Amino acid sequence: MASVASNFGMDTSDVDQWIGKQIVFAEFWDPCNATDIRRWVQAMDYANPLHWDEPFARASKFGGLIAPQSFTVAMDYGHGCHPSCVGKIPGSHLIFAGEEWWFYGTPVRPGDKLTQERFFAGYKLADTAFAGPTMFADGDTVHRNQHGGLIAKERATSIRYLIDEAAKRAVYGKENRPPKLWTKAELDEINRVRLAWILSNREGVSPRFSDVKVGDTLPRRVVGPHSRVSFALECRAHRQNIWGTWRWNTPEGAIDPAREDAGFAEDMSYDFEARKIDPRQGDGLHHGPSSGHINPEKGEKVGMGGVYGYGSSMNAWHVDYISYWAGHEGYVWHSKTQFRKPAFEGDVAYVDGEVIEKIENAPNGMAMVKLATKMTTQDGDVILKGTAEVSLPA
């Protein structure tokens, strides 16, 4: 594989050694709490009262606040993508390309503490319009709670690319897409659509499997307009990015490539030694791989043309969208998304969904429906395509 990669224009020799190995040993000190969950849904603009309204949640079948399924990624180090971006590729950076999740039926509640096992699964190489020689790398994370119960498994895919090549091609050059300035009338319409979606299933009533038909559409959701403030809030909703929340737990004798070099651009990497004195140096947002999301100069330097949104947030908007429709008796067992491009500053993201299949007897023995989602901007650009399999009451 190394010789092929070398001919392709990327030196992957340092990446090859980690294929199939357990990597990224990091763990949170503390269990999550209700405020962590509320912070997450606020940042994701997910107004489901089951996740923030204590009286509502206590009166529900759950007896109290539970986390949305999308919150699992906030219980992990590295926004879910770290196992897909280990090893040094000189002159490279990365963006997130997609997520696939398998869930196992146990909700995360305040007081839960998740632990993770993370593995680098491998990669493939392609020639892309964005950056020419490009690596699509996969990493797997298994999440368990404090009782050893299996919560979820994620496969994350990252796009690793050569910074100079992306900058030269300037696919996302700022001159091509200045941030949109919204009129009051346009903002009023956005707010109308947003509120209509919130009201579409606030009580959490689940559709019956027998009533659902292929071709049924879900109410439209809108998220945004996105800004540097909204991107910063999304970053801070990940527990990893709060000062002092996690520790390395690398076993004695093991080497953790994420600790030595996680594969980010040099000026967008953490400084873990400096972090011991100045915690900003390791918080991701001021210094580290998330800094390009709010710092336009850094965003431009890595070929993104300015500040841009998070793949993990887009995946959360997708999962939350389907969960809201499925209601309190529904459950997302499997979800897969492909990120086509980021949400940029000034954009909104419209989320639309459709039932594309009914499965009478799924492998888990349940009646399931399969849905497809599409996320578009105000200009009609597709930024995400996704699917999910969801159980519903008969």
pLDDT digits (tens, 9 = 90+) for 135-194: 999 999 999 999 999 999 999 999 999 988 888 888 887 666 788 999 999 999 999 999
Q: What is the mean pLDDT of residues 338-355?
A: 95
Q: Look at 68-77, 124-133, 207-216 and tell me which has the smallest mean pLDDT.
A: 124-133
| pLDDT value, residue 26 | 93
How high is the pLDDT of residue 176?
A: 65
Instruction: Tell me how far apart the alpha carbons of residues 55 and 65 are, in angstroms, rounded to a whole number.
Output: 9
Looking at residue 217, the DSSP 8-state letter turns out to be B
Q: Rounded distance, CA 281 to CA 267, Å?
A: 11
Pairwise CA distance, residues 73 & 347, whole Å: 24
Joined tokens for residue 165: 């090549």
Q: What does the pLDDT read at residue 365? A: 84
Percent of the chain with pLDDT over 90: 68
Average pLDDT of every residue of the chain = 91
Residue 52 to residues 46, 132, 188, 191, 241: CA-CA distances in angstroms?
10, 44, 25, 20, 21
Q: What is the pTM of this model?
A: 0.93
- Assign 73 to helix, strand or coil: helix
> What local confidence, expressed as pLDDT, does residue 2 receive?
38
Averaged over 304-324, what is the pLDDT? 92
Mean predicted confidence (pLDDT) in 15-29: 94
CA 126, CA 129: separation in Å to the nearest integer? 10
pLDDT of residue 175: 60
The HSE-up count of residue 193 (CA atoms within 13 Å, CB side) is: 19
Token pair, residue 23, equals 């990597």
Across 81-95, 113-127, 302-316, which has the greatest mean pLDDT? 113-127
3-state secondary structure of 35: helix
With a cut of 50, say whether residue 1 has pLDDT above it. Answer: no
Segment 240-244 shows an average pLDDT of 91
pLDDT at 91 over 90: no
pLDDT at residue 7, rounded to an integer: 41
Distances in whole angstroms, Cα of residue 273 to Cα of each of 158, 281, 363: 26, 9, 48
CA 230 to centroid of chain Cα atoms: 15
pLDDT of the residue at 146: 96
Q: What is the pLDDT of residue 174?
A: 62
DSSP code string of 299-348: HHHTTSSS-B--HHHHHHHHHHHHHHHH-TT-EEEEEEEEE-SPPBTT--
Average pLDDT over residues 88-104: 91
* Domain 2-391 bears CATH identifier 3.10.129.10: yes
Does the pLDDT of residue 109 top 50, yes or no?
A: yes
Residue-level pLDDT at 79: 87
Positive/negative CA dihedral, 182, 185, 190, 195 = positive
